[in-house]
Amino acid sequence: MHFHDCFVRGCDGSVLIAGSDTERSAGPNRNLRGYEVIDAAKAKLEAVCPGVVSCADILALAARDSVVLSGGLSWQVPTGRRDGRVSIGTEAFTLPGPNDTVAVQNKKFSDKGLNTQDLVILAGGHTIGTAACQSFSDRLYSPNGTDPSIDPSFVPFLRQICPQNQPTKRVALDTGSQFRFDTSYFANLKRRHGILRSDQVLWTDASTRPFVIKYLATGLFNQEFAKSMIKMGNIGVKTDADGEIRTKCSAVN
Ligand code: HEM
């Protein structure tokens, strides 16, 4: 959620605003989950300390806490973001998508000031969580056959979880370790067990593969993930009168 927030109008909580034409209702955000967790945190904060902590900061802190709760290392999240007052659905289409090539993913990241290492390490966020079958089932059931970049011995497993026409069933993005913040997502890419096309290409593409190898061979994943998250969390931050502290995360004041 923090990623989808930061990439559209900066980290300003714009993804949280409800409405028929807002980012939240747009295709690239349709599968985002956990709005109720952010609303609950906001309600507790407003009860004790009204008007101080922005929804954009709650997203950044919750992202960090999700990592810690999954066994990753903690980091100090810079705070002070203010919430935006604008959210436009069509702008969400600048987000990277599951079928993007490395070139396209790189372009979308560099447009936000993030480099290839940031791309690979932040995609490592897929060490936790799940994807809906509809986000990748074309790799299993294309009229042209199964995507040859998937390990053939992995295909029956995926087909079992995602039978044809079951778009909303969900699959772990890091098979065997979806609740642990660890490097097994990268090990799965190397075994050609990446779930999304956008994941698997990080191994097949010569520009991103060295980073995958680096995180498998060294213990640097946790600390470099934290650095890239801080960098991402600084995208387009609003201060002072550019923003507000929303009372409810789903609506501007
Ligand atoms: C590099 C470009 C990225 C692409 C193309 C991408 C794409 C996706 C897609 C398609 C899903 C599955 C959505 C669904 O079907 O429900 C997903 C899930 C997820 N992504 Fe990414 N993602 C990218 C980067 C990131 C980054 C930078 C982070 C965080 C640092 C991240 C964290 C997650 C998490 C935690 C989930 C699981 C959500 C859940 O369980 O509901 N992703 N991503």
Verify whether ligand 1 is closer than 6 Å to residue 96 (CB atom): yes
**Whether the predicted pLDDT of 191 surpasses 90:** yes
Whether 126 maps to a domain, the answer reads yes
pLDDT attached to residue 182: 97
Rounded mean pLDDT, 72-99:
98
**Whether the predicted pLDDT of 143 surpasses 90:** no
Identify the active-site residue in 2, 3, 4, 106: 4
Mean pLDDT of the chain: 97
Whether 106 maps to a domain, the answer reads no
Rounded mean pLDDT, 102-106:
98
- CATH code of the domain in which 16 resides: 1.10.520.10
From the centroid of its chain, how far is CA 162?
A: 22
Annotated binding residues for heme b, as ranges?
126
Whether 101 maps to a domain, the answer reads no
**pLDDT tens digits, one per residue of 49-77:** 999 999 999 999 999 999 999 999 999 99
Verify whether ligand 1 is closer than 6 Å to residue 124 (CB atom): no
CB atoms within 10 A of CB 213: 13
Same domain, 73 and 122: no
Percent of the chain with pLDDT over 70: 100
Same domain, 15 and 91: yes
Among protein residues, the one whose CA lies closest to atom 24 of ligand 1? 123
Same domain, 214 and 126: yes
- The pLDDT confidence band at residue 237, using thresholds 50, 70 and 90, is very high
Whether 111 maps to a domain, the answer reads no
CA atoms lying within 13 Å on the CB side of residue 39: 11
- CATH code of the domain in which 217 resides: 1.10.420.10
User: Nearest-CA neighbor of 54 among 25, 20, 77, 24?
Assistant: 77
Q: What is the DSSP letter of 172?
A: E
Same domain, 49 and 128: no
Whether 108 maps to a domain, the answer reads no
**Whether the predicted pLDDT of 36 surpasses 90:** yes
Verify whether ligand 1 is closer than 6 Å to residue 221 (CB atom): no
d(CA 42, CA 83): 13
Whether 100 maps to a domain, the answer reads no
Same domain, 122 and 90: no
**Cα→Cα distances 217→158, 181, 198, Å:** 28, 16, 22
Mutation pick for ligand 1 pocket among 64, 126, 169 (CB with most ligand atoms within 8 Å): 126
Range(s) of the domain holding residue 122:
117-227
Rounded mean pLDDT, 190-195:
98
Same domain, 213 and 123: yes
Q: What is the DSSP letter of 32?
A: -
Q: What is the DSSP letter of 24?
A: G
Same domain, 121 and 87: no
- How many domains is the chain built from? 2
Same domain, 80 and 159: no
Whether 40 maps to a domain, the answer reads yes
Same domain, 25 and 70: yes
Same domain, 68 and 129: no
Q: Atom of ligand 1 at shortest distance to CA of 198?
A: 5
Verify whether ligand 1 is closer than 6 Å to residue 104 (CB atom): no
Same domain, 9 and 49: yes
Q: DSSP secondary structure string, 38-103?
A: HHHHHHHHHHHSTT-S-HHHHHHHHHHHHHHHTTPPP-PPP---BB-S---GGGGGGS--TT--HH
